[in-house]
Amino acid sequence: MTLQVLFFGLIAALAELLGGCLIYFKRSWPQRAQEMLLALGAGFILALVFIKLIPASIETLGETAALYCMIGFATIHFFEHTIVGHLHFGEETHADVMVSKAASISAFSGLFVHAFFDGFAISVGLHFDFLLGILIFLAVLLHKIPEGLTIGSIVLTSGYSRRGVLLSSGGLALATMLGACSVLIFGQVSEGLIGMGFAFSAGVAMYVGASDLIPEINKSKDRIPPLVVFLGMLLFYVSDRALEAALR
Ligand SMILES: [Zn+2]
Ligand SMILES: [Zn+2]
């Protein structure tokens, strides 16, 4: 199990680094392609939260699951938008706000915590239930390239060189791996604690879908990306069925 978790964590981390490399080689990418990827990721992760993660959390912990979901949601809100002034997914286009290197370091630290819990969710998910863990991995993977792209463009806009792009996306990749490494202690903790970690991850995933991704899609000039969110939900359904048939 440990090797599997580290393997899936590594793939997610590499996708993050790939997003950074895209910005390293070319400053801006077609807005439309970014929106589509964010929309697919949003639909997928939200369907996962509502159809699988919340019911499974309640089944394990009973009513107290709601509390851990909320703590997960609140933790990401705290690190991404309470102590950080300006952070959103997608290309950073607000040069008037990203005026200092300090602003980008602050955004990086918010995303660092987010990326850590991406890895953590994969790890706790695979421990909780292998099939659910794979679905969480797919949900993370879908938004990892846009995440790497996000930090890369923040860093460039705030005045760092292209080397900073690689360092920052590499830093987030490392955070993802650190989160995945939490598997190393899961062997020693109780089932109850794993259940709490799982419910916490459900809240984190809800925040990523509903607050990081959806608002970016809704800013789109036309209604195609919001429509693609439903395609993401459908993609979740098809992936779930396919995995169910293959693994169970
Ligand atoms: Zn901005
Ligand atoms: Zn993420």
Local structure of 248: helix, strand or coil: coil
pLDDT exceeds cutoff 90 at 244: yes
Q: Three-state SS string across 125-174, please? A: HHHHCHHHHHHHHHHHHHHHHHHHHHHHHHHHHCCCCHHHHHHHHHHHHH
Q: How many angstroms is it from 92 CA to the middle of ligand 1?
A: 5
With CA atoms as reference, report the closest residue to 153 among 76, 221, 88. Answer: 88
Q: How many angstroms is it from 169 CA to the middle of ligand 2?
A: 12
Instruction: Report pLDDT digits (tens) over 133-164.
Output: 999 999 999 999 999 999 999 999 999 999 99
Using the structure block, give the residue that is written with the tokens 């996306």.
169
Q: How many angstroms is it from 17 CA to the middle of ligand 1?
A: 21
Per-residue model confidence (pLDDT) at position 183 = 84
Instruction: Report pLDDT digits (tens) over 69-124.
Output: 999 999 999 999 999 989 999 989 898 888 888 889 999 999 999 999 999 999 99
Residues 6+ apart with CB under 8 A from 9: 119, 122, 123, 176, 177, 179, 180, 181
Q: How many angstroms is it from 99 CA to the middle of ligand 2?
A: 24
* Ligand approaching nearest to the C-alpha of 88: 1
Instruction: Quickly count: other Cβ atoms within 10 Å of residue 63's Cβ.
Output: 7
Residues, CB-to-ion distance under 5 Å, ligand 2: 118, 147
* Ligand approaching nearest to the C-alpha of 149: 2
Instruction: Judge whether 196 and 68 are in contact, CB under 8 Å.
Output: yes
- pLDDT, mean of residues 197-224: 95
CA 200 to chain CA centroid, Å, is 14
Q: What are the contacts of 61-64 at 24+ separation with CB within 8 A?
A: 61/192, 61/195, 61/196, 61/199
Q: How many angstroms is it from 115 CA to the middle of ligand 1?
A: 19
Per-residue model confidence (pLDDT) at position 57 = 97
CA distance 147 to 90: 7
* Ligand approaching nearest to the C-alpha of 104: 1
Q: How many angstroms is it from 171 CA to the middle of ligand 1?
A: 20
Instruction: Report pLDDT digits (tens) over 171-204.
Output: 999 999 999 999 888 778 888 899 999 999 999 9
Q: How many angstroms is it from 228 CA to the middle of ligand 2?
A: 19
Instruction: Report pLDDT digits (tens) over 16-50.
Output: 999 999 999 998 888 899 999 999 999 999 999 99
Q: Which residue has the higher pLDDT, 248 or 238?
A: 238
Instruction: Judge whether 98 and 157 are in contact, CB under 8 Å.
Output: yes
Q: How many angstroms is it from 34 CA to the middle of ligand 1?
A: 15
CA 195 to chain CA centroid, Å, is 20
- What is the CA angle 63-48-224, rounded to 5? 135
Using the structure block, give the residue that is written with the tokens 């195609």.
224
Local structure of 26: helix, strand or coil: coil
* Ligand approaching nearest to the C-alpha of 157: 1
* Ligand approaching nearest to the C-alpha of 91: 1
